[in-house]
């Protein structure tokens, strides 16, 4: 009962603020609503007892990426941007992709409604005592089972970082 | 009974301890913040050979209450061109983040709101870093140049120094081997040594970075009054301004608590495992009683009758505290209270010492220039923190795999880290010398810096 209430609260907040994020004209307001969405999603992670992913979401997405987003938005002259006509030409593509995604989610929900041991919307809660500490579990998987993909991803990030530094450097 | 009512009762029955602890934190932290301000003013006065607030209550002891009342009844001004919603939201975010982070901190072995968070320390750091949004959004919403400059500076500063602080914490966490706050303190008790002695460089980096994170002098660039009026809170007044202030002081308590937990042994008393040091258990009660005796001595010297009475009241409160701390030690049936009470005492003492260090530095050091701040963060602290993480890792491998003495391994790697620090500082000096000889005079150069005021 309480679990469901908490889930629907977070889910509702996430969807509502995602909608507001798309529709606001003011970029800072959009960013604030995006933060709310991310925090609500983090709440759902926490409810699933994925503590590490919950806190990684908060530290990386909310505390890191969104701060940089807002940093950049503040440097833009918003009052000018507000009065300009937004010319995004991907309207129809976006509509198509959204519909396709909605259909996918719908099919998935519909087909899983009678799988035993799985609820219609919520998976059955895992008893807390059986969970291993998240961080250790994740680190074990990452550095034992998936070391090569992990290293490839980190090399990719390193390349991106070096690229950014090179591009930002003053040309003398 | 109605099922919903029943569910509510079950909920309350399960969680009442946590709920009450949360309410206690929300109720007490503003009071503590107020008295921290008083302590800061008194310390500043002392270091500048003044008396500080003396009028409201004996020795200004009621000054925080008077300040709070003044701030509450002040006119609440919102600038015409401000973004009302964000302007309203920002101080609340600032304060909420700091108070939420406090929920996971263990004030002693028994007082902790969120007990079983396995990622406890990360939770505290992550949530308290959300307070940055309060500063950034407030600065933007005020629609003023000073505010937005302060907000921009604070973003750049916090993003830079959070990296260094995080890496410094990693060094400590390597020693603890867990993120759970209780387990970190237990690890220090098990090893019999505070981590500050095993990783002194990490502690130093964390101290510097946490000063920058809480926007305190000498790194208070976001609110540098000689350059930016009041930085991001220029347009705030009255209670909203008070919320920012509360958030800032609550944040100081949070970083102090993190440092105390990870580096200073949490709620453990000094030498927790040494039997002949057990007399230290009497210290909380004795020191509280000593404060009481001092208040009695001062009571006779107050200028007015009311103030004498008030001083007696304070003295009585101190004696009551001494009794609460001391009696469980002597009476066997109350022994179960000792760990909680004394743990809280030592933990709060360590946080206070940490905050005292902050204030001391504030009155001692002049403010950094913004480019100096950035250079310190990116050229010295972050590389040094990375070297330190590697060094601590190497020391642990030397100890566990090659059977070195722990202290030998730690001292050797600390010396290597310090050598790296010297090297980094030499490099930075050289870079600065090259820049100042190549660039036009510094006054002109600084006006081109987009972050400078």
Which residues of chain A neighbour B162 with C-beta distances below 8 Å?
63
Q: Where are the alpha helices (DSSP H) in B263-381?
A: 283-299, 305-330, 338-364, 370-375
Q: Could you give the angle at which helices B145-176 and B200-213 cross, rounded to 10 degrees?
A: 160
* pLDDT attached to residue A97: 92
pLDDT recorded at residue B305:
80
- Domains of chain B, by residue range, sit at 16-268+362-441, 275-361
pLDDT band of residue A80 (cuts 50, 70, 90) is low
Model pLDDT for residues B214-261, shown as the tens digit of each residue: 888 788 777 766 777 777 777 888 788 888 888 888 889 999 999 998
A contacts of B151 (beta carbons < 8 Å): 74
B133 near A CB under 8 A: yes
Work out the average pLDDT over B359-388. 86
Our CA-based measurement puts residue A107 at a distance from the nearest CA of chain B, in whole angstroms, of: 33
Q: Is B388 on the interface with A (CB under 8 A)?
A: no
Among candidate residues B173, B163, B152, B132, the one with its CA nearest the CA of residue B376: B163
Predicted pLDDT of residue B452: 46
Per CB-CB distance under 8 Å, the chain B contacts of A75 are: 152
CB–CB of B107/B158 below 8 Å?
Answer: no
Residue B149 contacts A, CB cutoff 8 Å: no
pLDDT above 90 covers what percent of chain B?
3
* Rounded average pLDDT over A51-73: 85
- Assign B448 a pLDDT band (cuts: 50, 70, 90): very low
* Rounded Cα gap, residues B393 and B413, in angstroms: 9
Spatial distance between the Cα atoms of B219 and B212, rounded to a whole number of angstroms: 5
Which H or E run includes A68? helix A66-75
Contact B183, B117 (CB under 8 A): no
Tens of pLDDT, residues B305-343: 888 888 888 888 888 888 888 777 777 777 777 777 888
Q: Which residues of A touch B11 (CB under 8 A)?
A: 2
Give tens-digit pLDDT for B42-94.
888 888 888 888 878 777 888 888 888 888 888 888 888 778 888 888 889 88
Task: Please answer whether residues B209 and B168 qualify as being in contact, where contact means their C-beta atoms are separated by less than 8 angstroms.
Answer: yes
Q: What is the spatial distance between Cα B16 and Cα B208, in angstroms, rounded to a whole number?
A: 38
pLDDT for A114 equals: 64
What local confidence, expressed as pLDDT, does residue B189 receive?
Answer: 83
pLDDT of the residue at B4: 74
Q: Which residues of A touch B136 (CB under 8 A)?
A: 67, 70-71, 74
Q: Distance (Å, rounded) from C-alpha A128 to C-alpha A148? A: 32
Asked if A1 is an interface residue toward chain B (Cβ–Cβ < 8 A), one would say: yes
d(CA B140, CA B222): 13
**In the prediction, which pLDDT does A155 show?**
94
Helix (H) or strand (E) holding B346: helix B338-364
In whole angstroms, give the CA distance from residue B300 to residue B321. Answer: 22
A-chain residues within 8 Å CB-CB of B179? 135
Residues of chain B positioned with their CB less than 8 A from the CB of A4: none
Cα B318 to Cα B311: distance, rounded to the nearest angstrom: 11
CA geometry: angle at B228 spanning B145 and B97, to 5°? Answer: 85
pLDDT confidence tier of residue B446, bands split at 50, 70 and 90: very low
Angle CA(B134)–CA(B113)–CA(B64) in degrees, nearest 5?
Answer: 55
Q: How would residue A40 be classed by pLDDT, with cut points 50, 70 and 90? A: very high
Nearest to B58 by CA among B322, B292, B295, B352: B295
- Please judge whether A70 and B136 are an interchain contact, meaning their C-beta atoms are less than 8 angstroms apart: yes
| B268-307 tens-digit pLDDT | 888 777 777 777 777 888 888 888 888 888 887 777 788 8
Axis crossing angle, helix B84-102 with helix B238-262, rounded to the nearest 10 = 30
Structure tokens at A157: 């990030």
Question: Which candidate in A20, A48, A51, A69 is best for mutational testing of the B interface (most B CBs within 10 A)?
Answer: A51
| Contact across the interface for A35 and B7, Cβ inside 8 Å | no
Nearest Cβ partner for B140 among A62, A67, A74? A74
Strand partners, A123: A118
- Which of B119, B148, B159 is facing A134, going by the closest CB pair? B119
CB < 8 Å to A128, chain B:
116
Residue A14: predicted pLDDT: 92
Mean pLDDT score, A73-102: 77
Which tens digits make up the pLDDT trace of B99-144? Answer: 888 888 888 777 777 777 778 888 888 888 888 888 888 888 888 8
CB atoms within 10 A of CB B138: 32
Rounded CA-CA distance B207/B255 in Å is: 9
Q: Write down how long chain A is.
A: 172
Q: Above 50 in pLDDT, residue B444? A: no
Percent of chain B with pLDDT over 70: 96
Check: complex ipTM more than 0.85: no
Choose among A2, A28, A58: nearest Cβ to B126: A58
The partner residues of B107 in beta bridges, in order of sequence, read B111
pLDDT digits (tens, 9 = 90+) for B356-373: 998 888 888 888 888 888
User: A25-34, A100-109, B130-139, B330-339: which has the minimum mean pLDDT?
Assistant: B330-339
In the block, tokens 């409160």 appear at B317
Q: Give dist(CA B410, CA B212) in Å, integer.
A: 27
Q: Point out the residue among A28, A35, A59 whose CB comes nearest to the CB of B140.
A: A28
Q: Does the beta carbon of A47 lie under 8 angstroms from any beta carbon of chain B?
A: no
Nearest-Cα distance to chain A for B274, in Å, is: 32
Beta carbons of B122 and A59 less than 8 Å apart: yes
Instruction: Please state, in angstroms and rounded to a whole number, the distance separating the CA atoms of residues A115 and A145.
Output: 29
pTM (predicted TM-score): 0.83
Beta-carbon contacts of A6 under 8 Å, excluding residues fewer than 6 positions away, are A43, A47
For chain B, give the mean pLDDT.
Answer: 82
Least confident of B19-28, B161-170, B429-438: B429-438
Q: Give the residue from B88, B130, B152, B184 with the most A CB atoms within 10 Å of its CB, the best one to mutate.
A: B130
Q: Do B179 and A135 touch (CB under 8 A)?
A: yes
Beta strand segments in A5-143, E: none
Q: Searching chain B, which residue's CA lies closest to the CA of residue A132?
A: B118
Q: What pLDDT, on a 0 to 100 scale, did the predictor assign at position A94? A: 86
Q: Are A23 and A100 in contact (CB under 8 A)?
A: no
């Amino acid at each position: 009962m309480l679990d469901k209430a908490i889930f629907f609260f977070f889910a509702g907040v996430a969807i509502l603020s995602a909608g507001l994020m798309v529709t606001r004209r003011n970029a800072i307001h959009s960013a604030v609503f995006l933060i709310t969405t991310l925090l609500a999603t983090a709440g759902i992670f926490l409810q699933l007892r994925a503590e590490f992913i919950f806190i990684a979401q908060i530290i990386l997405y909310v505390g890191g990426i969104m701060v940089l987003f807002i940093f950049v938005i503040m440097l833009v002259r918003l009052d000018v941007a507000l009065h300009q006509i937004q010319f995004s030409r991907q309207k129809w593509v976006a509509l198509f992709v959204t519909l396709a995604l909605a259909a996918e989610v719908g099919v998935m929900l519909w087909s899983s409604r009678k799988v035993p041991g799985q609820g219609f919307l919520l998976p059955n809660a895992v008893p807390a005592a059986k969970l291993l500490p998240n961080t250790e579990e994740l680190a074990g998987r990452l550095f034992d089972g998936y070391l090569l993909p992990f290293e490839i991803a980190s090399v990719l990030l390193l390349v991106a970082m070096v690229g950014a530094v090179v591009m930002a450097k003053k040309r003398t | 009974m109605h099922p919903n009512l029943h569910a509510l009762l079950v909920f309350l029955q399960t969680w009442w301890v946590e709920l009450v602890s949360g309410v206690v934190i929300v109720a007490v932290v503003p009071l503590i913040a107020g008295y921290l301000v008083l302590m800061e003013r008194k310390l500043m006065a002392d270091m500048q050979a003044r008396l500080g607030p003396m009028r409201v209550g004996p020795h200004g002891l009621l000054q925080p209450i008077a300040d709070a009342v003044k701030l509450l009844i002040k006119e609440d001004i919102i600038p015409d061109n401000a973004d009302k919603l964000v302007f309203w939201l920002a101080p609340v975010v600032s304060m909420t983040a700091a108070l939420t982070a406090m929920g996971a901190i263990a004030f002693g072995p028994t007082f902790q709101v969120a007990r079983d968070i396995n990622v406890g320390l990360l939770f505290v750091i992550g949530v308290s870093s959300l307070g940055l949004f309060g500063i950034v959004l407030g600065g933007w919403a005020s629609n003023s140049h000073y505010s937005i400059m302060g907000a921009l500076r604070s973003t750049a500063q916090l993003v830079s120094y959070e990296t260094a602080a995080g890496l410094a914490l990693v060094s400590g966490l390597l020693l603890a081997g867990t993120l759970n706050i209780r387990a970190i303190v237990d690890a220090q008790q098990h090893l019999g040594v505070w981590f500050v002695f095993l990783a002194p460089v990490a502690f130093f980096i964390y101290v510097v970075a946490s000063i920058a994170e809480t926007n305190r002098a000498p790194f208070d660039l976001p609110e540098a009054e000689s350059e930016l009026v009041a930085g991001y809170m220029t347009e705030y007044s009255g209670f909203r301004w008070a919320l920012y202030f509360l958030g800032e002081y609550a944040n100081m308590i949070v970083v102090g608590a993190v440092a105390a937990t990870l580096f200073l042994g949490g709620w453990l008393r000094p030498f927790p495992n040494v039997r002949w040091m057990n007399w230290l258990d009497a210290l909380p009660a004795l020191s509280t009683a000593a404060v009481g005796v001092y208040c009695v001595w001062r009571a006779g010297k107050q200028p007015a009758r009311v103030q004498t009475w008030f001083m007696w009241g304070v003295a009585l409160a101190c004696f009551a505290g001494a009794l609460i701390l001391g009696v469980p030690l002597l009476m066997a049936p109350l022994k179960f209270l000792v760990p909680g009470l004394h743990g809280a005492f030592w933990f709060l003492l360590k946080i206070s010492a940490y905050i005292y260090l902050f204030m001391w530095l504030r009155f001692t050091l002049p403010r950094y220039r913004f480019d100096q701040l950035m250079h310190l963060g990116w050229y010295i602290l972050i590389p040094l923190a990375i070297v330190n993480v590697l060094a601590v890792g190497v020391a642990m491998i030397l100890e566990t795999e090659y059977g070195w003495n722990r202290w030998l391994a730690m001292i050797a790697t600390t010396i290597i880290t310090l050598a790296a620090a010297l090297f980094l500082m030499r490099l930075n000096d050289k870079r600065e010398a090259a820049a100042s000889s190549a660039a036009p005079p510094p006054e002109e150069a600084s006006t081109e810096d987009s972050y400078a005021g």
